[in-house]
Protein backbone atom coordinates (compact mmCIF):
# COMPACT_ATOMS: atom_id res chain seq x y z
CA UNK A 1 0.00 0.00 0.00
CA UNK A 2 2.82 2.44 0.94
CA UNK A 3 4.62 1.71 -2.32
CA UNK A 4 1.48 2.63 -4.31
CA UNK A 5 1.14 5.92 -2.39
CA UNK A 6 4.82 6.73 -3.00
CA UNK A 7 4.51 5.96 -6.70
CA UNK A 8 1.35 8.06 -6.96
CA UNK A 9 3.06 10.94 -5.15
CA UNK A 10 6.06 10.80 -7.50
CA UNK A 11 3.75 10.73 -10.52
CA UNK A 12 1.87 13.81 -9.31
CA UNK A 13 5.14 15.62 -8.54
CA UNK A 14 6.50 14.79 -12.01
CA UNK A 15 3.32 16.05 -13.67
CA UNK A 16 3.43 19.27 -11.64
CA UNK A 17 7.05 19.96 -12.57
CA UNK A 18 6.40 19.14 -16.23
CA UNK A 19 3.30 21.35 -16.27
CA UNK A 20 5.21 24.24 -14.74
CA UNK A 21 8.00 23.90 -17.27
CA UNK A 22 5.59 23.82 -20.19
CA UNK A 23 3.56 26.80 -19.00
CA UNK A 24 6.45 29.26 -18.71
CA UNK A 25 6.32 32.05 -21.30
CA UNK A 26 9.24 32.73 -23.61
CA UNK A 27 11.91 31.06 -21.41
CA UNK A 28 14.52 31.54 -24.13
CA UNK A 29 14.63 35.33 -23.80
CA UNK A 30 14.25 35.63 -20.05
CA UNK A 31 16.43 33.42 -17.87
CA UNK A 32 14.81 31.72 -14.93
CA UNK A 33 15.56 33.00 -11.43
CA UNK A 34 17.43 29.75 -10.72
CA UNK A 35 19.64 30.24 -13.78
CA UNK A 36 20.33 33.84 -12.78
CA UNK A 37 21.23 32.77 -9.23
CA UNK A 38 23.56 30.07 -10.56
CA UNK A 39 25.26 32.49 -12.97
CA UNK A 40 25.90 35.05 -10.24
CA UNK A 41 26.99 32.41 -7.69
CA UNK A 42 29.69 30.95 -9.93
CA UNK A 43 32.22 33.80 -9.50
CA UNK A 44 31.61 33.82 -5.76
CA UNK A 45 32.18 30.06 -5.54
CA UNK A 46 35.77 30.40 -6.81
CA UNK A 47 36.45 33.23 -4.32
CA UNK A 48 35.05 31.15 -1.48
CA UNK A 49 37.12 28.23 -2.68
CA UNK A 50 40.36 30.24 -2.47
CA UNK A 51 39.32 31.63 0.91
CA UNK A 52 38.80 28.08 2.10
CA UNK A 53 42.16 27.04 0.66
CA UNK A 54 43.83 30.01 2.36
CA UNK A 55 42.34 28.98 5.69
CA UNK A 56 43.53 25.39 5.20
CA UNK A 57 47.07 26.67 4.64
CA UNK A 58 46.86 28.93 7.70
CA UNK A 59 45.46 26.17 9.92
CA UNK A 60 48.12 23.73 8.68
CA UNK A 61 50.82 26.23 9.66
CA UNK A 62 49.29 26.68 13.12
CA UNK A 63 49.15 22.93 13.66
CA UNK A 64 52.75 22.58 12.47
CA UNK A 65 53.84 25.28 14.91
CA UNK A 66 51.97 23.53 17.71
CA UNK A 67 53.73 20.24 16.88
CA UNK A 68 57.13 21.94 17.12
CA UNK A 69 56.28 23.12 20.63
CA UNK A 70 55.00 19.66 21.53
CA UNK A 71 58.16 17.99 20.27
CA UNK A 72 60.81 20.43 21.51
CA UNK A 73 59.38 22.63 24.28
CA UNK A 74 57.06 20.47 26.35
CA UNK A 75 58.98 17.53 27.83
CA UNK A 76 61.59 18.06 30.53
CA UNK A 77 64.31 15.93 32.00
CA UNK A 78 64.51 15.11 35.71
CA UNK A 79 66.63 18.25 36.26
CA UNK A 80 64.13 20.48 34.40
CA UNK A 81 65.92 20.88 31.06
CA UNK A 82 63.86 20.70 27.87
CA UNK A 83 64.32 17.46 25.93
CA UNK A 84 62.96 15.94 22.75
CA UNK A 85 59.52 14.68 23.72
CA UNK A 86 60.04 10.91 24.11
CA UNK A 87 56.37 10.24 23.33
CA UNK A 88 56.88 11.44 19.74
CA UNK A 89 60.61 11.03 19.01
CA UNK A 90 63.94 10.04 20.50
CA UNK A 91 66.52 11.56 18.16
CA UNK A 92 66.95 13.71 15.06
CA UNK A 93 65.74 11.06 12.62
CA UNK A 94 62.56 10.23 14.51
CA UNK A 95 61.95 13.94 15.05
CA UNK A 96 62.16 14.46 11.27
CA UNK A 97 59.77 11.59 10.71
CA UNK A 98 57.28 13.09 13.19
CA UNK A 99 57.53 16.62 11.77
CA UNK A 100 57.40 15.30 8.20
CA UNK A 101 53.64 15.21 8.60
CA UNK A 102 53.57 18.99 9.08
CA UNK A 103 56.65 20.44 7.35
CA UNK A 104 57.99 20.06 3.83
CA UNK A 105 61.30 18.23 3.48
CA UNK A 106 62.94 21.57 2.57
CA UNK A 107 62.52 22.71 6.19
CA UNK A 108 62.99 19.49 8.15
CA UNK A 109 66.80 19.41 8.42
CA UNK A 110 67.06 23.08 9.34
CA UNK A 111 64.32 22.88 11.95
CA UNK A 112 65.44 19.64 13.60
CA UNK A 113 69.13 20.62 13.58
CA UNK A 114 68.20 23.92 15.20
CA UNK A 115 66.28 22.35 18.07
CA UNK A 116 68.01 19.02 18.79
CA UNK A 117 71.39 19.51 20.41
CA UNK A 118 74.19 16.98 20.83
CA UNK A 119 73.91 17.22 24.63
CA UNK A 120 71.90 14.63 26.52
CA UNK A 121 70.05 14.30 29.80
CA UNK A 122 70.20 10.56 30.38
CA UNK A 123 69.13 8.97 27.08
CA UNK A 124 67.16 12.03 25.88
CA UNK A 125 68.57 14.77 23.69
CA UNK A 126 68.37 18.31 25.07
CA UNK A 127 66.65 20.91 22.92
CA UNK A 128 67.44 24.53 22.14
CA UNK A 129 65.20 26.65 24.35
CA UNK A 130 65.21 29.66 22.03
CA UNK A 131 62.47 29.42 19.41
CA UNK A 132 63.38 29.06 15.75
CA UNK A 133 60.39 31.23 14.86
CA UNK A 134 60.61 35.03 15.25
CA UNK A 135 57.01 35.25 16.45
CA UNK A 136 54.47 32.75 17.67
CA UNK A 137 51.85 32.01 15.03
CA UNK A 138 49.67 30.53 17.75
CA UNK A 139 49.27 34.00 19.25
CA UNK A 140 47.72 35.37 16.05
CA UNK A 141 44.10 35.59 15.02
CA UNK A 142 42.92 34.99 11.49
CA UNK A 143 41.88 38.66 11.25
CA UNK A 144 45.55 39.63 11.70
CA UNK A 145 46.71 37.53 8.75
CA UNK A 146 47.26 38.92 5.26
CA UNK A 147 47.01 36.33 2.49
CA UNK A 148 48.99 36.74 -0.73
CA UNK A 149 46.76 37.59 -3.68
CA UNK A 150 48.71 35.16 -5.89
CA UNK A 151 47.76 32.12 -3.78
CA UNK A 152 46.60 29.05 -5.65
CA UNK A 153 44.89 25.78 -4.79
CA UNK A 154 48.33 24.24 -4.13
CA UNK A 155 50.26 27.14 -2.57
CA UNK A 156 49.20 29.45 0.25
CA UNK A 157 51.42 32.28 1.42
CA UNK A 158 50.48 34.63 4.23
CA UNK A 159 52.03 37.21 6.52
CA UNK A 160 51.46 37.90 10.20
CA UNK A 161 51.12 41.35 11.70
CA UNK A 162 54.74 40.94 12.89
CA UNK A 163 55.93 40.68 9.28
CA UNK A 164 56.69 36.94 9.33
CA UNK A 165 55.75 35.22 6.08
CA UNK A 166 54.67 31.57 5.99
CA UNK A 167 54.45 29.51 2.83
CA UNK A 168 52.49 26.28 2.78
CA UNK A 169 52.22 23.96 -0.16
CA UNK A 170 49.92 21.08 -0.87
CA UNK A 171 51.60 17.69 -0.81
CA UNK A 172 49.44 14.56 -1.09
CA UNK A 173 46.22 16.53 -0.47
CA UNK A 174 47.40 18.29 2.69
CA UNK A 175 49.26 21.51 3.32
CA UNK A 176 52.80 21.43 4.72
CA UNK A 177 54.85 24.41 5.84
CA UNK A 178 57.60 24.88 3.26
CA UNK A 179 59.12 28.20 4.31
CA UNK A 180 59.07 30.71 7.17
CA UNK A 181 60.73 34.09 6.62
33-84 residue pLDDT tens: 554 444 444 444 444 489 999 999 999 999 999 999 999 999 999 999 999 9
pLDDT of residue 12: 52
Domain boundaries, the chain: 48-180
Longest dimension (CA), the chain: 85
Q: Per-residue confidence at 124, pLDDT binned at 50, 70, 90?
A: very high
- Identify whether the C-beta of residue 113 lies closer than 8 Å to the C-beta of residue 92: yes
Q: What is the pLDDT at residue 88?
A: 96
pTM: 0.72
Q: Is the dihedral of CA 94, 99, 103, 107 positive or negative?
A: negative
CA nearest neighbour of 68 among 23, 107, 31, 21:
107
> What class has domain 48-180?
alpha beta
Residues 6+ apart with CB under 8 A from 148: 156, 157, 158, 159
Query: What local confidence, expressed as pLDDT, does residue 18 receive?
Result: 47
Amino acid sequence: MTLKKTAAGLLILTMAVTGAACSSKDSTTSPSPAATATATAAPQASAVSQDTTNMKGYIAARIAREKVDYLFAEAKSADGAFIVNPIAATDKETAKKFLGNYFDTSMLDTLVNYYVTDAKAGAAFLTNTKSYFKSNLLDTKKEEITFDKANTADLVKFSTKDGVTYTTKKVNDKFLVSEVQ
